[in-house]
Amino acid sequence: MDNVLTVDSLGKNYGDFKALSNCSMTIPRGSIYGFIGKNGAGKTTMIRIICGLQQKTKGNVTLFDRKDTDGNFNVSRRRMGAVVEKPSIYQEMTAIENLKQQFYIKGLTSFEEIDKLLDLVGLQDTGNRKVKDFSLGMRQRLGIAISLVGNPDFLILDEPTNGLDPQGIIEMRKLILKLNHDYHITFLISSHYLDELSKIATHYGFINQGEIIKEISAKDLEAHCGKYIQIEVNNSKALMCTLDDMHVEYKLLSSTKAKIFSTVNITQLVLALDRANCEVISLFEKEESLESYFINLVGGEKDV
Amino acid sequence: MYRLLSANLYRLRIYKPFWINLFILVIIEALLTFMLVVQGEVPLDFTLFIVLLVIGIITSFFIGLFYGTEYSDGTIRNKVIAGHKRITIYSASLLIGIISISALYFVSLIVGVFIVLMFSKDGNYDLLHFLVSSIIGWLSCVSIASIFNMIGMLCSSKSKSSTTCILVSFMFLLIGLICYSLSLQGLNSSIFSEAVQFLFDANPFVQGIQISTVDYLTIYKLGFYCLYLILITNLVGMHIFNKKELK
Protein backbone atom coordinates (compact mmCIF):
# COMPACT_ATOMS: atom_id res chain seq x y z
CA MET A 1 0.00 0.00 0.00
CA ASP A 2 1.52 3.37 -0.91
CA ASN A 3 1.75 6.14 1.61
CA VAL A 4 0.60 9.73 1.35
CA LEU A 5 2.74 11.00 4.18
CA THR A 6 5.87 9.63 5.79
CA VAL A 7 7.54 11.41 8.67
CA ASP A 8 10.98 10.17 9.58
CA SER A 9 12.78 11.03 12.84
CA LEU A 10 11.24 14.48 13.05
CA GLY A 11 12.55 16.70 15.81
CA LYS A 12 11.78 20.23 16.99
CA ASN A 13 13.68 22.04 19.70
CA TYR A 14 12.96 25.34 21.36
CA GLY A 15 16.32 26.04 22.95
CA ASP A 16 16.87 23.16 25.35
CA PHE A 17 13.24 22.06 25.28
CA LYS A 18 12.45 19.20 22.90
CA ALA A 19 8.91 19.64 21.62
CA LEU A 20 9.36 16.72 19.23
CA SER A 21 11.92 13.97 19.40
CA ASN A 22 12.49 11.32 16.73
CA CYS A 23 8.88 11.25 15.59
CA SER A 24 8.11 8.85 12.79
CA MET A 25 4.71 8.37 11.21
CA THR A 26 3.27 6.71 8.13
CA ILE A 27 -0.14 7.52 6.70
CA PRO A 28 -1.42 5.06 4.10
CA ARG A 29 -3.37 6.34 1.12
CA GLY A 30 -7.14 6.32 1.69
CA SER A 31 -6.89 6.04 5.46
CA ILE A 32 -8.33 8.15 8.24
CA TYR A 33 -5.40 8.48 10.61
CA GLY A 34 -6.32 9.36 14.18
CA PHE A 35 -3.55 11.29 15.92
CA ILE A 36 -3.92 11.02 19.69
CA GLY A 37 -1.99 12.56 22.53
CA LYS A 38 -2.30 14.55 25.73
CA ASN A 39 -2.33 18.34 25.82
CA GLY A 40 1.18 19.52 25.05
CA ALA A 41 2.29 16.16 23.67
CA GLY A 42 3.35 17.71 20.35
CA LYS A 43 0.43 16.98 18.01
CA THR A 44 -0.07 20.54 16.79
CA THR A 45 3.68 21.16 16.57
CA MET A 46 4.04 18.17 14.28
CA ILE A 47 1.07 19.19 12.17
CA ARG A 48 2.42 22.71 11.84
CA ILE A 49 5.78 21.41 10.64
CA ILE A 50 4.09 19.16 8.08
CA CYS A 51 2.08 22.15 6.82
CA GLY A 52 5.17 24.36 6.58
CA LEU A 53 4.06 26.80 9.27
CA GLN A 54 7.08 26.02 11.44
CA GLN A 55 10.57 24.84 10.69
CA LYS A 56 11.83 21.51 11.93
CA THR A 57 15.11 21.00 13.79
CA LYS A 58 15.80 17.62 12.21
CA GLY A 59 14.21 14.76 10.31
CA ASN A 60 12.34 14.42 7.04
CA VAL A 61 8.83 14.79 5.79
CA THR A 62 7.86 12.97 2.61
CA LEU A 63 4.57 13.99 1.04
CA PHE A 64 3.32 12.22 -2.10
CA ASP A 65 6.80 10.74 -2.66
CA ARG A 66 8.56 14.12 -2.46
CA LYS A 67 10.93 14.93 0.37
CA ASP A 68 10.73 18.32 2.05
CA THR A 69 14.35 18.90 1.06
CA ASP A 70 13.39 18.70 -2.64
CA GLY A 71 13.19 22.00 -4.43
CA ASN A 72 9.72 21.23 -5.74
CA PHE A 73 8.22 20.03 -2.45
CA ASN A 74 5.59 22.77 -2.73
CA VAL A 75 4.10 20.87 -5.67
CA SER A 76 3.11 18.14 -3.20
CA ARG A 77 1.73 20.75 -0.80
CA ARG A 78 -0.72 21.84 -3.47
CA ARG A 79 -2.37 18.42 -3.19
CA MET A 80 -3.20 18.88 0.45
CA GLY A 81 -5.46 21.03 2.57
CA ALA A 82 -5.47 21.71 6.27
CA VAL A 83 -7.38 23.30 9.12
CA VAL A 84 -4.82 23.92 11.83
CA GLU A 85 -5.92 25.05 15.29
CA LYS A 86 -8.70 27.42 14.24
CA PRO A 87 -10.22 27.87 10.76
CA SER A 88 -8.32 30.45 8.67
CA ILE A 89 -11.11 32.65 7.39
CA TYR A 90 -11.59 36.37 6.89
CA GLN A 91 -14.08 37.53 9.49
CA GLU A 92 -15.23 40.56 7.50
CA MET A 93 -16.01 38.56 4.36
CA THR A 94 -18.89 36.27 3.47
CA ALA A 95 -18.52 32.52 2.93
CA ILE A 96 -18.52 32.98 -0.86
CA GLU A 97 -15.90 35.75 -0.70
CA ASN A 98 -13.68 33.59 1.49
CA LEU A 99 -13.95 30.71 -0.96
CA LYS A 100 -13.26 33.00 -3.92
CA GLN A 101 -10.15 34.19 -2.12
CA GLN A 102 -8.97 30.59 -1.77
CA PHE A 103 -9.79 29.91 -5.42
CA TYR A 104 -7.50 32.77 -6.41
CA ILE A 105 -4.75 31.49 -4.10
CA LYS A 106 -4.99 28.06 -5.72
CA GLY A 107 -4.95 29.59 -9.20
CA LEU A 108 -8.45 28.44 -10.12
CA THR A 109 -10.15 30.85 -12.48
CA SER A 110 -13.63 29.34 -12.50
CA PHE A 111 -15.86 29.70 -9.44
CA GLU A 112 -18.37 27.03 -10.49
CA GLU A 113 -17.37 24.71 -7.67
CA ILE A 114 -18.17 27.23 -4.92
CA ASP A 115 -21.87 26.33 -4.71
CA LYS A 116 -21.01 22.64 -4.66
CA LEU A 117 -18.55 23.13 -1.79
CA LEU A 118 -21.04 25.16 0.21
CA ASP A 119 -23.67 22.44 -0.33
CA LEU A 120 -21.21 19.79 0.78
CA VAL A 121 -20.56 21.46 4.13
CA GLY A 122 -24.13 22.67 4.61
CA LEU A 123 -23.51 26.40 4.21
CA GLN A 124 -25.55 26.97 1.06
CA ASP A 125 -27.93 29.45 2.75
CA THR A 126 -25.46 31.88 4.33
CA GLY A 127 -25.95 34.52 1.61
CA ASN A 128 -24.39 37.88 2.50
CA ARG A 129 -23.77 37.07 6.16
CA LYS A 130 -20.25 37.88 7.25
CA VAL A 131 -18.22 35.15 8.87
CA LYS A 132 -17.99 37.09 12.14
CA ASP A 133 -21.73 36.43 12.53
CA PHE A 134 -21.36 32.65 12.02
CA SER A 135 -21.60 30.12 14.81
CA LEU A 136 -18.49 28.11 15.72
CA GLY A 137 -19.81 25.07 13.88
CA MET A 138 -20.40 27.09 10.74
CA ARG A 139 -16.88 28.50 10.89
CA GLN A 140 -15.43 25.02 11.29
CA ARG A 141 -17.38 23.85 8.26
CA LEU A 142 -16.31 26.84 6.22
CA GLY A 143 -12.72 26.11 7.21
CA ILE A 144 -13.11 22.61 5.82
CA ALA A 145 -14.74 23.96 2.65
CA ILE A 146 -11.73 26.24 2.15
CA SER A 147 -9.35 23.35 2.68
CA LEU A 148 -11.26 21.39 0.01
CA VAL A 149 -10.67 24.00 -2.69
CA GLY A 150 -8.58 22.53 -5.46
CA ASN A 151 -9.72 18.93 -4.77
CA PRO A 152 -6.96 17.92 -2.39
CA ASP A 153 -6.02 14.27 -1.92
CA PHE A 154 -4.94 14.74 1.68
CA LEU A 155 -6.56 16.73 4.47
CA ILE A 156 -5.15 17.56 7.87
CA LEU A 157 -7.68 18.48 10.54
CA ASP A 158 -6.38 19.64 13.89
CA GLU A 159 -9.13 19.04 16.45
CA PRO A 160 -12.03 19.63 14.06
CA THR A 161 -14.74 18.98 16.66
CA ASN A 162 -13.46 21.42 19.28
CA GLY A 163 -16.27 23.57 20.60
CA LEU A 164 -18.96 21.82 18.57
CA ASP A 165 -22.23 20.70 20.07
CA PRO A 166 -23.22 16.98 19.83
CA GLN A 167 -25.16 17.60 16.60
CA GLY A 168 -22.19 19.43 15.14
CA ILE A 169 -19.88 16.56 16.05
CA ILE A 170 -22.16 14.06 14.32
CA GLU A 171 -22.33 16.23 11.21
CA MET A 172 -18.56 16.60 11.16
CA ARG A 173 -18.15 12.83 11.43
CA LYS A 174 -20.56 12.25 8.54
CA LEU A 175 -18.76 14.80 6.42
CA ILE A 176 -15.35 13.23 7.03
CA LEU A 177 -16.66 9.76 6.22
CA LYS A 178 -18.34 11.02 3.05
CA LEU A 179 -15.17 12.75 1.88
CA ASN A 180 -13.13 9.63 2.60
CA HIS A 181 -15.53 7.16 0.99
CA ASP A 182 -16.82 9.17 -1.96
CA TYR A 183 -13.88 11.42 -2.75
CA HIS A 184 -11.09 9.07 -1.53
CA ILE A 185 -9.45 11.78 0.54
CA THR A 186 -6.86 10.65 3.06
CA PHE A 187 -7.17 12.25 6.49
CA LEU A 188 -4.90 13.07 9.38
CA ILE A 189 -7.10 14.04 12.32
CA SER A 190 -5.88 15.02 15.74
CA SER A 191 -8.55 14.95 18.39
CA HIS A 192 -9.24 14.72 22.08
CA TYR A 193 -12.59 13.05 21.53
CA LEU A 194 -11.33 9.46 21.48
CA ASP A 195 -14.79 7.98 21.39
CA GLU A 196 -15.61 10.01 18.29
CA LEU A 197 -12.28 9.19 16.68
CA SER A 198 -12.78 5.49 17.29
CA LYS A 199 -15.91 5.63 15.11
CA ILE A 200 -14.07 6.82 12.00
CA ALA A 201 -10.32 6.17 12.21
CA THR A 202 -8.71 3.35 10.26
CA HIS A 203 -5.26 3.94 11.72
CA TYR A 204 -3.96 5.47 14.93
CA GLY A 205 -0.81 7.18 16.04
CA PHE A 206 -0.17 7.85 19.69
CA ILE A 207 2.17 10.64 20.75
CA ASN A 208 3.47 11.35 24.22
CA GLN A 209 6.05 13.91 25.35
CA GLY A 210 7.12 14.63 21.80
CA GLU A 211 7.55 11.02 20.71
CA ILE A 212 5.32 8.75 18.64
CA ILE A 213 5.01 5.79 20.98
CA LYS A 214 2.74 3.58 18.90
CA GLU A 215 1.21 3.27 15.48
CA ILE A 216 -1.51 0.71 14.94
CA SER A 217 -4.30 0.02 12.49
CA ALA A 218 -7.89 0.00 13.70
CA LYS A 219 -8.11 -3.67 12.79
CA ASP A 220 -5.13 -4.60 14.97
CA LEU A 221 -6.41 -2.38 17.73
CA GLU A 222 -9.76 -4.11 17.68
CA ALA A 223 -8.06 -7.48 17.79
CA HIS A 224 -6.00 -6.32 20.73
CA CYS A 225 -8.81 -4.57 22.56
CA GLY A 226 -11.77 -6.73 21.62
CA LYS A 227 -14.39 -8.04 23.97
CA TYR A 228 -13.26 -10.48 26.67
CA ILE A 229 -14.53 -12.13 29.82
CA GLN A 230 -12.89 -11.28 33.09
CA ILE A 231 -13.16 -14.08 35.63
CA GLU A 232 -12.16 -14.18 39.28
CA VAL A 233 -11.74 -17.57 41.01
CA ASN A 234 -10.27 -18.96 44.20
CA ASN A 235 -8.01 -21.50 42.46
CA SER A 236 -6.08 -20.19 39.46
CA LYS A 237 -4.33 -23.55 38.87
CA ALA A 238 -7.66 -25.28 38.42
CA LEU A 239 -8.81 -22.44 36.20
CA MET A 240 -5.73 -22.76 33.98
CA CYS A 241 -6.16 -26.55 33.64
CA THR A 242 -9.84 -26.18 32.80
CA LEU A 243 -9.24 -23.48 30.22
CA ASP A 244 -6.42 -25.47 28.63
CA ASP A 245 -8.69 -28.51 28.36
CA MET A 246 -11.35 -26.34 26.69
CA HIS A 247 -8.70 -24.93 24.27
CA VAL A 248 -9.58 -21.40 25.24
CA GLU A 249 -7.25 -18.39 24.73
CA TYR A 250 -6.69 -16.59 28.01
CA LYS A 251 -4.29 -14.40 29.97
CA LEU A 252 -3.66 -14.66 33.68
CA LEU A 253 -3.87 -11.25 35.36
CA SER A 254 -3.13 -12.31 38.94
CA SER A 255 -3.36 -15.34 41.21
CA THR A 256 -7.14 -15.07 41.15
CA LYS A 257 -8.04 -13.21 37.93
CA ALA A 258 -7.82 -13.99 34.25
CA LYS A 259 -9.00 -12.63 30.92
CA ILE A 260 -10.65 -15.05 28.51
CA PHE A 261 -10.49 -13.89 24.87
CA SER A 262 -12.23 -16.75 23.07
CA THR A 263 -15.96 -17.21 22.87
CA VAL A 264 -16.90 -19.67 25.62
CA ASN A 265 -20.08 -21.30 26.88
CA ILE A 266 -20.42 -19.84 30.38
CA THR A 267 -22.53 -22.69 31.73
CA GLN A 268 -20.03 -25.32 30.59
CA LEU A 269 -17.14 -23.27 31.97
CA VAL A 270 -18.69 -22.85 35.39
CA LEU A 271 -19.70 -26.53 35.58
CA ALA A 272 -16.18 -27.58 34.55
CA LEU A 273 -14.66 -25.31 37.21
CA ASP A 274 -17.06 -26.72 39.78
CA ARG A 275 -15.95 -30.28 38.93
CA ALA A 276 -12.35 -29.06 39.46
CA ASN A 277 -13.29 -27.69 42.89
CA CYS A 278 -12.83 -24.13 41.75
CA GLU A 279 -15.24 -21.44 42.93
CA VAL A 280 -16.18 -18.63 40.55
CA ILE A 281 -16.15 -15.41 42.56
CA SER A 282 -17.07 -13.05 39.70
CA LEU A 283 -17.48 -13.19 35.94
CA PHE A 284 -18.35 -10.34 33.53
CA GLU A 285 -17.87 -9.25 29.95
CA LYS A 286 -15.62 -6.23 29.19
CA GLU A 287 -14.33 -4.34 26.17
CA GLU A 288 -11.16 -2.28 26.16
CA SER A 289 -11.91 1.14 24.75
CA LEU A 290 -9.56 3.37 22.79
CA GLU A 291 -9.43 5.56 25.86
CA SER A 292 -8.27 2.79 28.17
CA TYR A 293 -5.80 1.58 25.54
CA PHE A 294 -4.37 5.09 25.32
CA ILE A 295 -4.25 5.47 29.13
CA ASN A 296 -2.41 2.17 29.42
CA LEU A 297 0.05 3.29 26.74
CA VAL A 298 0.94 6.63 28.31
CA GLY A 299 0.27 5.69 31.88
CA GLY A 300 -1.88 7.45 34.48
CA GLU A 301 -5.22 9.22 34.11
CA LYS A 302 -4.03 12.74 33.40
CA ASP A 303 -6.15 14.80 31.00
CA VAL A 304 -6.23 13.57 27.41
CA MET B 1 3.10 35.06 -7.57
CA TYR B 2 0.30 35.85 -10.01
CA ARG B 3 -2.16 33.73 -7.99
CA LEU B 4 -1.32 35.50 -4.75
CA LEU B 5 -1.46 38.88 -6.41
CA SER B 6 -4.91 38.07 -7.84
CA ALA B 7 -6.06 37.03 -4.38
CA ASN B 8 -4.68 40.22 -2.82
CA LEU B 9 -6.22 42.39 -5.53
CA TYR B 10 -9.59 40.77 -4.99
CA ARG B 11 -9.35 41.45 -1.29
CA LEU B 12 -8.27 45.05 -1.85
CA ARG B 13 -11.18 45.61 -4.23
CA ILE B 14 -13.72 44.69 -1.53
CA TYR B 15 -11.79 46.30 1.33
CA LYS B 16 -13.85 49.32 2.42
CA PRO B 17 -11.11 51.16 4.40
CA PHE B 18 -9.06 51.44 1.19
CA TRP B 19 -11.86 53.21 -0.65
CA ILE B 20 -12.56 55.44 2.35
CA ASN B 21 -8.86 56.40 2.45
CA LEU B 22 -8.90 57.15 -1.26
CA PHE B 23 -11.93 59.38 -0.82
CA ILE B 24 -10.34 61.22 2.13
CA LEU B 25 -7.07 61.79 0.29
CA VAL B 26 -8.83 63.06 -2.80
CA ILE B 27 -10.91 65.46 -0.69
CA ILE B 28 -7.83 66.76 1.14
CA GLU B 29 -5.92 67.24 -2.11
CA ALA B 30 -8.87 68.90 -3.84
CA LEU B 31 -9.75 71.24 -0.97
CA LEU B 32 -6.20 72.38 -0.20
CA THR B 33 -5.30 72.82 -3.85
CA PHE B 34 -8.49 74.77 -4.54
CA MET B 35 -7.96 77.00 -1.49
CA LEU B 36 -4.45 77.84 -2.67
CA VAL B 37 -5.45 78.33 -6.28
CA VAL B 38 -8.14 80.90 -5.45
CA GLN B 39 -5.60 82.92 -3.41
CA GLY B 40 -3.10 83.21 -6.22
CA GLU B 41 -0.91 81.41 -8.71
CA VAL B 42 0.07 77.90 -7.63
CA PRO B 43 2.96 76.02 -9.23
CA LEU B 44 1.96 72.62 -10.61
CA ASP B 45 4.57 70.96 -8.36
CA PHE B 46 2.65 72.15 -5.33
CA THR B 47 0.09 69.39 -5.89
CA LEU B 48 2.93 66.95 -5.19
CA PHE B 49 3.74 68.70 -1.94
CA ILE B 50 0.23 68.18 -0.57
CA VAL B 51 -0.09 64.54 -1.63
CA LEU B 52 3.33 63.44 -0.45
CA LEU B 53 3.01 65.14 2.92
CA VAL B 54 -0.19 63.34 3.89
CA ILE B 55 -0.09 60.07 1.95
CA GLY B 56 2.13 58.29 4.47
CA ILE B 57 -0.12 59.11 7.40
CA ILE B 58 -3.35 58.40 5.51
CA THR B 59 -2.08 55.08 4.13
CA SER B 60 -0.84 53.90 7.53
CA PHE B 61 -4.42 53.85 8.85
CA PHE B 62 -5.71 51.27 6.39
CA ILE B 63 -2.63 49.33 5.30
CA GLY B 64 -1.63 48.20 8.79
CA LEU B 65 -5.10 46.75 9.22
CA PHE B 66 -5.02 45.20 5.75
CA TYR B 67 -1.77 43.35 6.45
CA GLY B 68 -2.55 42.59 10.08
CA THR B 69 -5.83 40.88 9.20
CA GLU B 70 -3.84 38.05 7.60
CA TYR B 71 -2.37 37.19 10.98
CA SER B 72 -5.39 37.89 13.16
CA ASP B 73 -7.70 35.82 10.97
CA GLY B 74 -4.96 33.24 10.33
CA THR B 75 -5.40 33.44 6.58
CA ILE B 76 -1.69 33.82 5.88
CA ARG B 77 -1.49 30.12 6.76
CA ASN B 78 -3.75 29.26 3.80
CA LYS B 79 -1.11 30.63 1.46
CA VAL B 80 1.69 28.57 3.01
CA ILE B 81 -0.39 25.40 3.16
CA ALA B 82 -1.45 25.92 -0.47
CA GLY B 83 2.20 25.52 -1.46
CA HIS B 84 3.36 29.10 -1.95
CA LYS B 85 6.90 29.92 -0.90
CA ARG B 86 7.53 32.50 1.82
CA ILE B 87 9.39 34.79 -0.56
CA THR B 88 6.46 34.72 -2.99
CA ILE B 89 4.00 35.53 -0.21
CA TYR B 90 6.16 38.45 0.93
CA SER B 91 6.62 39.77 -2.60
CA ALA B 92 2.91 39.55 -3.42
CA SER B 93 2.16 41.44 -0.22
CA LEU B 94 4.69 44.12 -1.18
CA LEU B 95 3.17 44.44 -4.64
CA ILE B 96 -0.33 44.96 -3.31
CA GLY B 97 1.01 47.63 -0.96
CA ILE B 98 2.67 49.36 -3.91
CA ILE B 99 -0.48 49.08 -6.02
CA SER B 100 -2.69 50.51 -3.28
CA ILE B 101 -0.42 53.44 -2.44
CA SER B 102 0.16 54.12 -6.15
CA ALA B 103 -3.59 54.26 -6.69
CA LEU B 104 -3.94 56.74 -3.82
CA TYR B 105 -1.00 58.80 -5.11
CA PHE B 106 -1.92 59.03 -8.78
CA VAL B 107 -5.65 59.56 -8.29
CA SER B 108 -5.00 62.38 -5.78
CA LEU B 109 -2.31 63.89 -7.99
CA ILE B 110 -4.56 63.88 -11.04
CA VAL B 111 -7.31 65.61 -9.05
CA GLY B 112 -4.85 68.25 -7.83
CA VAL B 113 -3.38 68.83 -11.29
CA PHE B 114 -6.87 69.07 -12.77
CA ILE B 115 -7.87 71.76 -10.28
CA VAL B 116 -4.67 73.75 -10.87
CA LEU B 117 -5.08 73.59 -14.65
CA MET B 118 -8.77 74.41 -14.49
CA PHE B 119 -8.63 77.38 -12.15
CA SER B 120 -5.18 78.80 -12.64
CA LYS B 121 -4.81 81.67 -15.10
CA ASP B 122 -1.11 81.32 -15.79
CA GLY B 123 -0.30 78.30 -17.97
CA ASN B 124 3.48 78.54 -17.64
CA TYR B 125 4.65 75.32 -16.01
CA ASP B 126 7.93 73.42 -16.02
CA LEU B 127 6.38 70.15 -17.13
CA LEU B 128 9.65 68.22 -17.26
CA HIS B 129 10.47 69.15 -13.68
CA PHE B 130 6.96 68.20 -12.64
CA LEU B 131 7.20 64.85 -14.42
CA VAL B 132 10.57 63.95 -12.88
CA SER B 133 9.35 65.07 -9.45
CA SER B 134 6.19 62.96 -9.86
CA ILE B 135 8.21 59.84 -10.61
CA ILE B 136 10.53 60.38 -7.65
CA GLY B 137 7.47 61.17 -5.53
CA TRP B 138 6.05 57.84 -6.60
CA LEU B 139 9.30 56.16 -5.50
CA SER B 140 8.84 57.81 -2.09
CA CYS B 141 5.43 56.19 -1.93
CA VAL B 142 6.90 52.81 -2.90
CA SER B 143 9.49 53.09 -0.13
CA ILE B 144 6.71 53.95 2.33
CA ALA B 145 4.84 50.85 1.12
CA SER B 146 8.00 48.77 1.66
CA ILE B 147 8.29 49.98 5.24
CA PHE B 148 4.63 49.23 5.95
CA ASN B 149 4.89 45.83 4.25
CA MET B 150 7.86 44.88 6.42
CA ILE B 151 5.94 45.91 9.53
CA GLY B 152 2.79 44.11 8.40
CA MET B 153 4.53 40.86 7.50
CA LEU B 154 6.51 40.69 10.73
CA CYS B 155 3.90 41.84 13.28
CA SER B 156 1.76 38.91 14.33
CA SER B 157 -1.49 40.73 15.00
CA LYS B 158 -3.80 43.28 13.43
CA SER B 159 -3.59 45.70 16.35
CA LYS B 160 0.23 45.58 16.53
CA SER B 161 0.54 46.00 12.78
CA SER B 162 -1.81 48.98 12.48
CA THR B 163 -0.50 50.71 15.63
CA THR B 164 3.11 50.29 14.54
CA CYS B 165 2.40 51.59 11.03
CA ILE B 166 0.66 54.69 12.42
CA LEU B 167 3.36 55.35 15.03
CA VAL B 168 6.17 54.86 12.50
CA SER B 169 4.57 57.25 10.02
CA PHE B 170 4.11 59.96 12.67
CA MET B 171 7.61 59.38 13.98
CA PHE B 172 9.16 59.69 10.53
CA LEU B 173 7.11 62.81 9.86
CA LEU B 174 8.14 64.39 13.14
CA ILE B 175 11.82 63.55 12.63
CA GLY B 176 11.61 64.95 9.12
CA LEU B 177 10.04 68.21 10.27
CA ILE B 178 12.63 68.62 13.03
CA CYS B 179 15.42 68.06 10.50
CA TYR B 180 13.81 70.55 8.13
CA SER B 181 13.56 73.14 10.91
CA LEU B 182 17.20 72.57 11.93
CA SER B 183 18.41 72.83 8.34
CA LEU B 184 16.58 76.14 7.92
CA GLN B 185 18.16 77.55 11.08
CA GLY B 186 21.63 76.65 9.89
CA LEU B 187 24.04 74.53 11.91
CA ASN B 188 27.59 75.31 12.99
CA SER B 189 28.96 71.77 12.90
CA SER B 190 29.37 70.51 9.32
CA ILE B 191 29.13 66.84 10.37
CA PHE B 192 25.94 67.48 12.27
CA SER B 193 24.63 69.55 9.42
CA GLU B 194 25.32 66.73 6.95
CA ALA B 195 23.71 64.18 9.22
CA VAL B 196 20.58 66.30 9.56
CA GLN B 197 20.49 66.86 5.81
CA PHE B 198 20.86 63.12 5.18
CA LEU B 199 18.06 62.27 7.61
CA PHE B 200 15.88 64.84 5.90
CA ASP B 201 16.69 63.71 2.36
CA ALA B 202 16.36 59.97 3.04
CA ASN B 203 13.04 60.27 4.85
CA PRO B 204 10.31 59.34 2.36
CA PHE B 205 7.57 60.84 4.57
CA VAL B 206 8.94 64.38 4.13
CA GLN B 207 10.54 64.27 0.68
CA GLY B 208 7.45 66.07 -0.57
CA ILE B 209 8.59 69.23 1.27
CA GLN B 210 11.55 69.74 -1.03
CA ILE B 211 10.83 67.66 -4.11
CA SER B 212 8.98 70.40 -5.96
CA THR B 213 11.61 73.11 -5.38
CA VAL B 214 15.04 71.52 -5.72
CA ASP B 215 17.20 70.99 -8.79
CA TYR B 216 17.32 67.80 -10.85
CA LEU B 217 20.49 66.51 -9.20
CA THR B 218 18.91 66.66 -5.76
CA ILE B 219 15.74 65.02 -7.08
CA TYR B 220 17.76 62.09 -8.45
CA LYS B 221 19.60 61.85 -5.11
CA LEU B 222 16.24 61.58 -3.33
CA GLY B 223 15.29 58.85 -5.79
CA PHE B 224 18.40 56.84 -4.97
CA TYR B 225 17.69 57.13 -1.26
CA CYS B 226 14.23 55.71 -1.94
CA LEU B 227 15.71 52.80 -3.88
CA TYR B 228 18.17 52.01 -1.07
CA LEU B 229 15.38 52.09 1.48
CA ILE B 230 13.23 49.80 -0.68
CA LEU B 231 16.12 47.34 -1.03
CA ILE B 232 17.08 47.32 2.65
CA THR B 233 13.54 46.98 4.03
CA ASN B 234 12.72 44.13 1.65
CA LEU B 235 15.93 42.20 2.23
CA VAL B 236 15.56 42.46 5.99
CA GLY B 237 11.83 41.76 5.89
CA MET B 238 12.14 38.72 3.61
CA HIS B 239 14.95 37.25 5.67
CA ILE B 240 13.02 37.47 8.94
CA PHE B 241 9.70 36.39 7.42
CA ASN B 242 11.32 33.32 5.88
CA LYS B 243 12.13 31.98 9.32
CA LYS B 244 9.06 33.25 11.15
CA GLU B 245 6.77 30.75 12.84
CA LEU B 246 3.23 31.43 11.67
CA LYS B 247 1.05 30.97 14.72
pLDDT of residue A304: 40
Question: Of the candidates A152, A204, A169, which has an alpha carbon nearest to the alpha carbon of residue A31?
Answer: A204
Taken as a whole, chain A contains a residue count of 304
Candidates B7, B73, B243; nearest CB to A89: B73
Which tens digit of pLDDT belongs to each residue from A111-128? 999 999 999 888 998 989
- Is the CB of residue B12 less than 8 Å away from at least one CB of chain A? no
pLDDT bracket for residue A292 (50, 70, 90): confident
Mode of pairing for the β-strands spanning A80-83 and A154-158:
parallel
A56-84 mean pLDDT: 92
CB contact under 8 A, B81 and A105: no
CATH fit for domain A227-287, picks 1.10.287.40, 1.10.10.10, 3.30.70.100, 3.30.1300.10: 3.30.70.100
**What is the distance between the alpha carbons of residues A137 and A143, in angstroms, rounded to a whole number?**
10
Q: What angle do CA A5, A118, A90 make, to 5 degrees?
A: 80
Q: What angle do CA B217, B219, B220 make, to 5 degrees?
A: 65
CB pairs under 8 A between A and B: 76
CB contact under 8 A, B74 and A81: no
Rg (chain B; Cα; Å): 19
pLDDT of residue B126: 78
Q: Which residues of A264-275 are buried (b: 16+ CB within 10 A; e: fewer)?
A: beeeebbebbee
Report the 10 Å Cβ neighbour count for B22: 17
Q: How far is B127 from chain A (nearest CA, A)?
A: 41
Any long-range contacts for A296-302 (C-beta under 8 Å, 24+ apart)? A297/A206, A297/A208, A297/A213, A297/A214, A298/A38, A298/A206, A298/A208, A298/A213, A302/A38
B58-68 mean pLDDT: 92
**What is the distance between the alpha carbons of residues A9 and A60, in angstroms, rounded to a whole number?**
7
CB contact under 8 A, A82 and B81: yes
What are the DSSP calls for A179-217, one per residue?
HHHHH--EEEEE-S-HHHHHTT-SEEEEEETTEEEEEEE
Q: Which class does domain A3-216 fall in? A: alpha beta
pLDDT of residue A177: 94
pLDDT bracket for residue B124 (50, 70, 90): low
> In chain A, which residue's Cα lies nearest the Cα of B2?
A107
The answer to which of A128-132, A260-264, B122-126 has the lowest mean pLDDT is B122-126
pLDDT for residue B226 is more than 80 = yes
Hey, where are the domains in chain B? 2-243
CB contact under 8 A, A74 and B243: no
Q: How far is CA A264 from the centre of its chain?
A: 33
Q: Are A62 and A168 in contact (CB under 8 A)?
A: no
φ, ψ (nearest 5 deg) of residue B82: -70, -5
Q: Which residues of B67-105 are buried (b: 16+ CB within 10 A; e: fewer)?
A: bbbbbbbbbbbbbbbbbbbbebbbbbbbbbbbebbeebb
pLDDT bracket for residue B233 (50, 70, 90): very high
pLDDT of residue A45: 93
Which tens digit of pLDDT belongs to each residue from B7-52? 999 999 999 999 999 999 999 999 998 888 888 777 777 777 888 8
B146-151 mean pLDDT: 96
Q: Helical H runs in A2-129?
A: 43-51, 73-77, 95-106, 113-121
What are the DSSP calls for A206-261, one per residue?
EEETTEEEEEEEHHHHHHHH-EEEEEEES-HHHHHHHHHHTT--EEE-SSSEEEE-
The answer to which of A97-106, A179-188, A191-200, B151-160 has the lowest mean pLDDT is A191-200
Q: How far is B29 from chain A (nearest CA, A)?
A: 30
CB contact under 8 A, A81 and B81: yes
User: Which residues of chain A make contact with B69, given a CB cutoff of 8 A?
Assistant: 90, 92
Q: How far is A174 from chain B (nearest CA, A)?
A: 24
**What is the distance between the alpha carbons of residues B64 and B55, in angstroms, rounded to a whole number?**
14
List where CATH 3.30.70.100 sits in chain A. Answer: 227-287
pLDDT bracket for residue B123 (50, 70, 90): low
Candidates A74, A102, A104; nearest CB to B85: A74
Q: Are B99 and B12 in contact (CB under 8 A)?
A: yes
* DSSP H or E segment with residue A80: strand A80-83
pLDDT for residue B113 is more than 80 = yes
Question: Of the candidates B87, B61, B83, B74, which has an alpha carbon nearest to the alpha carbon of residue B157?
Answer: B74
Q: How far is A216 from chain B (nearest CA, A)?
A: 27
Which tens digit of pLDDT belongs to each residue from A79-103? 999 999 889 999 999 999 999 999 9
Q: Identify the residue among A5, A48, A89, A105 best suited for mutation to test binding to B, counting B beta carbons within 10 A and taking the highest.
A: A105
Residues of A with CB under 8 A from a CB of B: 48, 51-55, 74-78, 80-82, 84-93, 97, 100-102, 104-107, 146-147, 150
- Is the CB of residue B74 less than 8 Å away from at least one CB of chain A? yes
Q: How far apart are the first and last CA of chain B?
A: 23
- Is the CB of residue B221 less than 8 Å away from at least one CB of chain A? no
pLDDT bracket for residue A196 (50, 70, 90): confident
Cβ-based neighbours of B163, under 8 Å, separated by 6 or more: B64
